[in-house]
Structure 1
């Protein structure tokens, strides 16, 4: 048998392999592609990262697959920041966030109902106690014969025992209600803290996710423009390497203050993660959003930040930004990808600038 015949025989055997064998091999091939992709682009091996990469490379999510392919072909960086952004194209991510919100709502509702039940029970036992008090006083004051005095004493004794038990129940109910109130307050505080970035005190990515969805729905229903912008501190890694992470944290807080000074009912600012911030600009089309963000950029570029530990200047600390109009697309999430691409263009064009696409 010549070499060509041997190859044809091997190929024929592969084609005729049992379906289970082919499925197993396909899974192995997919796992190898996922692991190679994660290693090539230095991604952390987390459940969320692997799920998104799998959705894209397997083709189960067409939008993700397209986003991955476009990014690779364009030569733009594929890193954790970009993956966090494109992750929004995965409906399972939105579903997990929605499920968490649902569980929190259910917990808060259960606490509220428990507090109401405890209060109701406390009011009811209090009413019973007052009625028994009246009955006992009436019995004590009534004229009764000597033969019935023992019976009266027994009723009084039993009634007083009942009152003691009711008083104990009231005390327990009061404690339960106080605990319920405390838990509800703690839940409200935890929920608020879960939406705040602890370094900059700006709303965090979780808060942005929720605000972005509601803002996009509202803008579309009202027919009003809405823009999203990503802002990234220029050359932040070199600042961290030169001055240290504590100084880097202070720079992030300074940038956050510059951005938050513009935050009002027409602008929502949050920290997206790392040295990146994200903004929602309500009632602004792309040109108006660009002008607003470019004004903020110029304000920051005019500042001189000092390292309070050394007394030396950090030099000019600037940021770059990318703007996209959310209401231009049927799917508002695609605006996040376009804004990220615009930010990349701003970096490529020399930093310290705003690009709108």
Structure 2
């Protein structure tokens, strides 16, 4: 039995449906952001849009399960979902590989330029020596000399071009090295950023397993940060982040790596610390921050102490780093639930 082909949808109607689908998705995103009181940021919009559109099945499933459970879909949870995205590590690795390839290509180009410059220099020297040996002033010899001089000029031009290329290659390599450093730095706090933290976490985990030493990871989150921003403005919020970054950074050394992980959250790696000693160290830093008082520069009025909460987990083995991140995040959430301005170890 011959089947009739499905009716064709007019192009204008198809475009109208696509536009309506985009409009509906935008409305869903807006409603979701407002209903859960989420900040309108590029990161939040991307995460919510990806989940609601179904573009990422795992993310869509996580959002649906969260809403069904009745647990809050707040900024804390959104940050957790984004932070624990397994694709993040792959994207960071891809970027590192690309930068390595760029640097290697420029190194090879610089080596080729130096080799070519050396070769042309040797050829010019040999040709110049040959010209000096010629004593017969015949017409043919003069032609040879003229041709040789032209060749020398051409070689000199090549040498200069090679020198310029080598200088440009060296400058590009220097720029790449600078870009590597800048790519790992948070521009507000000047701490290492999430990209640097992810790479350091992987290396630290391998080292801890190889050497048989303990390793802890912690997340620290500024307490009531949204209220600070809403009440005093984002400039004051930035000052708060810089101040807490400074408090944490004073503890940074060979045993403690501190990074800004995103938003009002910081990540800490504690090398050679078990869970108990890591808790004592981080709690001492928390108490130091809690003793400080900050002032609104515009009004001159103090707005009280600014504190942070923290969660700690110990990395138990080579495959435990990601799970430990989740445990540290759960401990941080528990610290918030217990009243903030405290450190909880999971």
Q: Secondary structure at the match of 1:264?
A: coil
Deviation at 1:100, TM superposition (A): 1.6
The residue that corresponds to 2:196 in the other structure is: 207
The structure whose Rg is larger is 1
**1:222 and 2:211 are equivalent in the alignment:** yes
Query: In 2, distance between residues paired with 1:287 and 1:246?
Result: 36
- What is the aligned counterpart of 2:235 among 246, 261, 267? 246
Most deviating of 96-105 and 315-324: 96-105
Greater Cα offset, 97-106 or 294-303: 97-106
Give secondary structure in 2 for the equivalent of 1:203.
Answer: coil
Offset, 1:246: 1.1
Alpha-carbon distance, 1:98 to partner: 1.4
Among 106, 127, 130, the residue aligned to 1:132: 127
Deviation at 1:329, TM superposition (A): 8.1
For 2:321 and 2:162, the matched residues in 1 are separated by: 49
Q: Which residue of 2 aligns with 1:85?
A: 80
**CA deviation profile, 1:59-92 (whole Å, cap 9, x unmatched):** 7xxxxx6x985896482x4345534434465543
The DSSP-based 3-state class of the residue aligned with 2:56 is helix
Q: Distance in 2 between matches of 1:48 and 1:100?
A: 25
Partner SS for 1:46: helix
Say if 2:29 and 2:49, in contact at 8 Å, map to a contact too: no
Distance 1:88 1:49, change over 3 A: farther
CA offsets 1:245-266 (integer angstroms, 9 cap, x no match): 1121111111100000000000
Task: Write out aligned runs for 1:260-271 (5 A).
Answer: 260-271=249-260
The equivalent position to 1:108 in structure 2, one of 87, 91, 103, is: 103
Q: Which residue of 1 aligns with 2:183?
A: 194
**Shift of residue 306 of structure 1?**
2.3
TM-score for both structures, normalised by structure 2: 0.82
Judging changes above 3 Å, is the alpha-carbon distance between structure 1 residues 81 and 209 closer, same or farther for their aligned structure 2 residues? Answer: farther
Structure 1, 117-126 or 232-241: larger mean CA deviation? 232-241
Partners of 1:230 and 1:279 within 8 A in 2: yes
- In structure 2, the CA distance between the partners of 1:72 and 1:187, relative to structure 1 (3 Å rule), is farther
* TM-score, scaled relative to structure 1: 0.79
Greater CA deviation, 121-130 or 96-105? 96-105
Aligned position for 1:95? 90
**What residue number does 2:56 align with?**
54
Q: Which moved further from structure 2: 212-221 or 264-273? A: 212-221
Alignment check: 8 A CA contact 2:29 2:45 kept: no
Which residue of structure 2 aligns with residue 162 of structure 1?
Answer: 151
Structure-2 residue corresponding to 1:337: 326
1:228 and 1:323 in contact (8 A); partners too? yes
Q: How does 1:279-294 map to 2 (within 5 A)?
A: 279-294=268-283
Contact 2:307 2:341 in 1 (8 A): yes
Q: Which moved more, 1:232-241 or 1:195-204?
A: 232-241
> Which position in structure 2 is the counterpart of 1:185?
174
Aligned residues: 313
C-alpha change, 1:269 and 1:172, in structure 2 (3 Å) is same
- Name the CA distance, whole Å, in 2 between partners of 1:223 and 1:121: 50
Inter-CA distance 208–70: structure 2 relative to 1 (3 Å threshold): same
Change (3 A) 1:126 1:109: same
User: What secondary structure sits across from 2:316 in the alignment?
Assistant: helix
Structure 1 distance, partners of 2:123, 2:287, is: 72
Residues 206 and 318, structure 2, Cα contact 8 Å, conserved in 1? no
Paired residue secondary structure (1:265)? coil
RMSD over aligned CA atoms reads: 2.8
Q: Matched residue of 1:279: which SS?
A: strand
Kept in 2: contact 1:72–1:78 (CA 8 A): no
Distance (whole Å) between structure 1 residues aligned to residue 202 and residue 117 of structure 2: 42
String of CA shifts for 1:192-230, please: whole Å, max 9, x gaps: 101000000000011111111111122122221111111
Counterparts of 2:277 and 2:303, CA distance in 1: 31
Is the 1:226–1:326 contact (alpha carbons within 8 Å) kept by the matching residues of 2?
yes
* 1:119 partnered with 2:129: no
